[in-house]
Amino acid sequence: MSTKTNKTKAISIAVEPETAEKLTYIGKQDHRTLSAYVRLVLINTVENYEKRNGEIKFPSDKPAKPRLITRTK
């Protein structure tokens, strides 16, 4: 995964307290904060996706706008 700048974007997620505790525990095993561990997991997820599906590219290097995904019955 390539990035052009070192800027980061803050995001907020909601997880169950037990999940947060477990992620904190796992991160501490690798001497990482919860935030640093979750960031690593997200980066690994994107890298693995791109290995399977090819690099994600955006027109004009701008991220795609989210689209609503609906389920049909």
Domain that holds residue 46: 17-55
The tens place of each residue's pLDDT in the chain, 73 residues long, gives 554 567 889 999 999 999 999 999 999 999 999 999 999 999 999 999 999 999 998 877 666 667 676 666 6
Residue written as tokens 């001497």?
31
Q: What's the pLDDT score for residue 73?
A: 60
Number of separate domains in the chain: 1
Q: What's the pLDDT score for residue 11?
A: 92
Pick left, alpha or beta for residue 48 (phi over 0 → left; psi -120 to 50 → alpha; otherwise beta): alpha
Q: What's the pLDDT score for residue 50?
A: 96
Q: What's the pLDDT score for residue 5?
A: 61
Specify if 60 maps to a domain.
no
Q: What is the phi/psi pair of residue 2, to 5°?
A: -110, 145
